[in-house]
Amino acid sequence: MKKQIKILIYTIMVISLITCGFVGFQRIQVENNYDQVGIAIKYSDILRISIEQEKTVEEVLAHYKELGVTNILVKETTVASVSDKDYTNYKNLGEVSLVEGYILRFNYPQEKEIKPDMRYIVSDNPAVIKNIVDTFALKGIELEGYQVDDIYFLEIGDAGAALTGMGLGFDVAALNKAADMGFNISLQLKSWQDPTEESVEALIENISAIKNVDTIYFADANVTAPTSQAFQEYIEKHQLGFIEFTTTKQKGFETLANATSDGRKDYKVVRLHTLEDPKVETMSVDDIIDRYDLALEERNNRVFLFKLGTTAEPEAAIATYDESITRFIETAEAAGYTISNNIPDYNLPTYPVWVSLVAGLASVMVFILFMQALGFAKTGITLGILGTLGYALLLLKGYVNLGCQLMALFGSVMFPTYAIIKVVDDEEKNIKDTILAFLKICLISFGGVLTIIGCLSKTNFAIGLDVFMGVKAAVVLPIALVLFYYIFTAHRFDFRYYKGLLDKKISYGSLILIGVLAVALFVYVSRTGNTGTATDLERGFRQFLDNLLGVRPRTKEFLISYPILLALLYYGYKEKYIIAIIFAVIGPISLVNTYAHIHTPVVISLIRSAYGILFGIIIGLIFIGAIKLLVKVIQKCQTQLK
């Protein structure tokens, strides 16, 4: 490759990475200023505490206002609920009963209209019955009803579970009392099939009568009327609630969020963190605080919902509940956050399309350098030009998200790959040069970090509407490319070698080694992303590191990969160490992929990476010393045996 072309490649790469760095710096400014936190509790829990402690709802609300709670989350009223501790439904409030038809027929033998094989909503409250009938009618469901004296019967037939879980609006008068006490009201809406404009407008009319409504959440797998213009106009005046680990599965949320974002420039979304119901019952106050603190510091969640346990003795559950709220508020304020009932929208700066184009060019340049290292410089340049044109075409055609996702993935693959093949050679090094070579690998790999930041630092990625694409590919492809490089550069087109490799007899020991390696790689890949699981021992170790350091480094980096990489650099790569190179490349891959979680503040990821590198060097030097000692012991034993 000519010198002028190399200079051009490095110049383009530097410009691209500087652009990415500027985008990252702007993002850090937004993240640092996003420091207001809301504390939410469920209205159903308020009602339950009121019943358990024989206090008025106003007295309970006053208590939690004094504790520092800012938001009341209230689920839309339904006929019934699967939980007997949920008081946002008429059944648990004692307003209605669900009775089988044969029982009613037994009690009212003279009423021939009652069908024994049907189920009925039964109530003596005409206002409740009217609300059920009118709301269901708006949603396209006509209920057949009867009245015997002052008792009302509504036939719900075979669709009982679906109907009794359908939303019936909100108790406006009760929620306005909470609003008058200074609480923000966060509404959680139920969905229904085929919403009409009339039914949507009726819902909007109901919730518009509630004071201090700040955020709208959704309770079901489908979001309420995401394409309704009337509903979109209502959301534009409020906020959308993104429930961490839940909302990504809610169909229609992304449509509604994008439609109300002024062309993706001003999203009305706030992220909420809470515990899954089963974990509320099993976690101690310390565990709850650790979990919520992690969600606050390491992810841009700004509303935290506390839930009242249902299985413990009521007073004990309430005491745990109160202590959790109080301690979390203290923890958040000590960390510099402000408890507020006015959480601002979270929006990163927007940039022209050309910024995304420039941000992705570094990935193309490092690919060309990789192809040159293989001996295919012209092919690399040709493919690089074609790739750049394809990327530019995607951006110009309006597929900015897809283009940026592809280029972020490409950078996450190519930078750690090139870092390894550029630095790991067959020369033995002293400790100083080993550490410098290791830091050089980390520095080159960081180009992938900047590419991800430059391409994906957009609000839709930060709030969770879109995510880094190709997580599994990002961890597998660099390993494959590094293996290919070292095998190909050693043997190139020596087909006799490859044929001999395939024809070679495999011993049982080799089979066992291959099996162990395959299992290790399977565990590594399957544990990547948000779907992996950890053992209790590993979770305990992670928690120890969190408590000790504040930000936990990746164990696969500093405990496994970096020490092996340092040993390879120290002793020099040999073909017999081919298995070691697989584990050595995992560290740089993990370093880059740490930044693929756009909802995690950049500074937190930088601290995590720094800890990983520092502890990796320390443990790596210990590992090298252990190898030296082991070699001496083996040599001494061999000498004595002779």
pLDDT at 311: 74
Mean pLDDT of 521-545: 62
d(CA 50, CA 174): 14
Residue 623: CB partners within 8 Å, gap ≥ 6?
563, 564, 566, 567
d(CA 285, CA 326): 10
> Which of residues 602 and 281 earns the better pLDDT score?
602
d(CA 525, CA 563): 20
- Mean pLDDT score of the chain: 90
Digit-coded pLDDT (tens) for 622-641: 999 998 898 888 888 877 76
Cα 156 to chain center, whole Å?
39
In a domain? residue 260: yes
Residue % of the chain over a pLDDT of 70:
92
Query: Which tokens is 288 given?
Result: 């709850």
Residue % of the chain over a pLDDT of 90:
67
- Whether residue 534 has pLDDT greater than 60: no
> Where is the domain boundary, 282, 311, 335?
335
Mean pLDDT of 565-576: 91
In a domain? residue 4: no
Residue 396 and residue 296 share a domain: no
Sign of CA dihedral 301, 303, 309, 310: negative
Digit-coded pLDDT (tens) for 487-519: 999 888 877 877 776 766 666 565 666 676 667
d(CA 265, CA 494): 56
Residue 201: CB partners within 8 Å, gap ≥ 6?
230
Residue 397 and residue 268 share a domain: no
Residue 289 and residue 377 share a domain: no
Mean pLDDT of 252-279: 92
Digit-coded pLDDT (tens) for 470-483: 988 999 999 999 99
Residue 404 and residue 553 share a domain: yes
DSSP 8-state class, residue 556: I
| Residue 133 φ/ψ, nearest 5 degrees | -65, -45
Digit-coded pLDDT (tens) for 19-58: 999 999 999 999 999 999 999 999 999 999 999 999 999 9
pLDDT at 142: 86
> Where is the domain boundary, 133, 164, 195?
164
d(CA 138, CA 275): 34
Do 567 and 624 contact (CB within 8 A), yes or no?
Answer: yes
In the three-class reduction of DSSP (H, G, I as helix; E, B as strand; rest coil), residue 306 is classed as strand
Helix or strand run (H / E) with residue 446: helix 431-456
Among 388, 385, 405, which Cα is nearest to 354's?
Answer: 388
Do 296 and 304 contact (CB within 8 A), yes or no?
Answer: yes
Residue 331 and residue 354 share a domain: no
The tally of domains found in the chain comes to 3
Is residue 568 exposed (0-12), middle (13-18) or buried (19+ Cβ within 10 Å)? buried
Residue 424 and residue 329 share a domain: no
Residue 376's identity, in one-letter code, is F
Residue 307 and residue 219 share a domain: yes
pLDDT band at 538 (very low <50, low <70, confident <90, very high): low
Candidate from 79-93, 472-486, 511-525 with smallest mean pLDDT: 511-525
Cα 195 to chain center, whole Å?
30
Query: Which tokens is 116 given?
Result: 């024994």
Do 251 and 221 contact (CB within 8 A), yes or no?
Answer: yes
DSSP characters over 234-289: HHTTSEEEEETTTGGGSBTHHHHHHHTSTTTTS--EEEEE---HHHHHH--HHHHH
pLDDT band at 235 (very low <50, low <70, confident <90, very high): very high
On the CB side of 566, how many CA atoms lie within 13 Å of its CA? 28
Helix or strand run (H / E) with residue 185: strand 184-189
In a domain? residue 476: yes
Residue 138's CATH number: 3.10.28
- Whether residue 230 has pLDDT greater than 90: yes
> Which of residues 494 and 554 earns the better pLDDT score?
554
Query: Which tokens is 573 given?
Result: 């790569």
Sign of CA dihedral 579, 581, 587, 589: negative
Domain with 288 in it: 35-76+182-335
pLDDT at 517: 65
pLDDT band at 227 (very low <50, low <70, confident <90, very high): very high
Q: Where are the beta strands (DSSP E) in 443-486?
A: none
Residue 459 and residue 548 share a domain: yes
Residue 580 and residue 545 share a domain: yes
* Look-up of token digits 């979990």: 291
> Where is the domain boundary, 335, 359, 391?
335
In a domain? residue 548: yes
Do 202 and 237 contact (CB within 8 A), yes or no?
Answer: no
Residue 447 and residue 507 share a domain: yes
- Whether residue 536 has pLDDT greater than 90: no
CB atoms closer than 10 angstroms to residue 335: 13
Most confident of 190-194, 352-356, 626-630: 352-356
In a domain? residue 363: yes
Residue 249 and residue 215 share a domain: yes
In a domain? residue 173: no
Strands 144-148 and 184-189: unpaired
DSSP 8-state class, residue 120: E
Residue 233's CATH number: 3.20.20
* Look-up of token digits 């990475």: 17
Mean pLDDT of 356-381: 96
Longest CA span, the chain: 107
d(CA 303, CA 305): 7
In a domain? residue 604: yes
Supply the pTM of this predicted model. Answer: 0.88
Residue 523 and residue 601 share a domain: yes
pLDDT band at 531 (very low <50, low <70, confident <90, very high): very low
In a domain? residue 228: yes
